[in-house]
Amino acid sequence: MDLGIRGKVALVNGGSAGLGLGAARALAAEGVTLFLSARGEERLHAAARAIEADTGARVVPVVADHASAAGREKILSICPQPDILVGTCSPAPFTPDFRDISTEQWREHLEVGLISPVEFMRATIDGMCERGFGRIVNISTAASKFPAEIRSLSGPPRAALSNYTAGIAKRVAQHNVTINNLLPGMHHTATAQQRFTQIAAERGTSYEEAVQSWIDEWQIPAGKFGSIDDFGAICALLCSAQANYIIGQSIVVDGGVSNTTF
């Protein structure tokens, strides 16, 4: 299926690994020109080279922290007028006890999970409206819809983001600009690899056994963690020309853990 976005310009923040990388790969495969930002220079440039080699798309790496004002300024100076904006970030650490969360941690994760995507939307959305095409996808977390103490730093800022985006999505939809959120559960990302490798070492088990223990504990109906490339394909679909009637939605992608009727 041709998604109708060949030749468009896409900015993917946090795109050097994990779900952002999955989204970047999928968009590049559709023929977009890709601007890819991340903090880690070595991993970012490696990801850009690999995507270019695999897809033939033009990929411009931008080394910057998109959660900071200086980082946002740098990214937008290089890619000021994207047609497609995808944003994600490294997941917040698990929080087994909500009492241990500091005020500084709250400030940090509000900056990453709420203020940064809001500021990127504010900077780019008018241009999208003027050109008559825009697709914005925020890669959020299922914890924003289904709270859990262990995801206390992750869920609340993204819940606010869902509220904000649903409101402004209605304002800009008439200009063929859509804003939606993807709410992932557990996927095989670099962060998951690191976390569950550490858990396995502490328990004296394998990575696969640590993952299976999590699957059993959280009763994931799919019986597995998700794939970043499958997730990326869903993101690309929301960025497609055909996705013009999906407005202000927050779509859960978690293997069936948190099903609701509505």
Q: Which domains does the chain have, with CATH numbers?
A: 9-185+226-247 (3.40.50.720)
The string of pLDDT tens digits covering residues 211-236 is 999 999 999 999 999 999 999 999 99
**In the structure, how many helices (H) and strands (E) does the chain have?**
9, 7
**Residue 93 scores a pLDDT above 90:** no
User: pTM score > 0.85 for this model?
Assistant: yes
Query: Quick one: pLDDT band at residue 15, thresholds 50, 70, 90?
Result: very high
* Mean pLDDT score across all residues of the chain: 95
The string of pLDDT tens digits covering residues 194-216 is 999 999 999 999 999 999 999 99
CA distances from 89 to 93, 139, 140, 147, 164 (A): 12, 8, 9, 19, 18
Query: Quick one: pLDDT band at residue 105, thresholds 50, 70, 90?
Result: very high
The residues near 178 (Cβ < 8 Å, ≥ 6 apart) are 134, 135, 136, 169, 238, 243, 244, 246, 247
Residue whose structure tokens are 């990302």: 189
In angstroms, how far is CA 109 from the centroid of its own chain?
15
**Helix residue spans in the chain (DSSP H):** 18-29, 41-55, 69-78, 103-110, 116-131, 155-172, 190-203, 207-218, 228-238
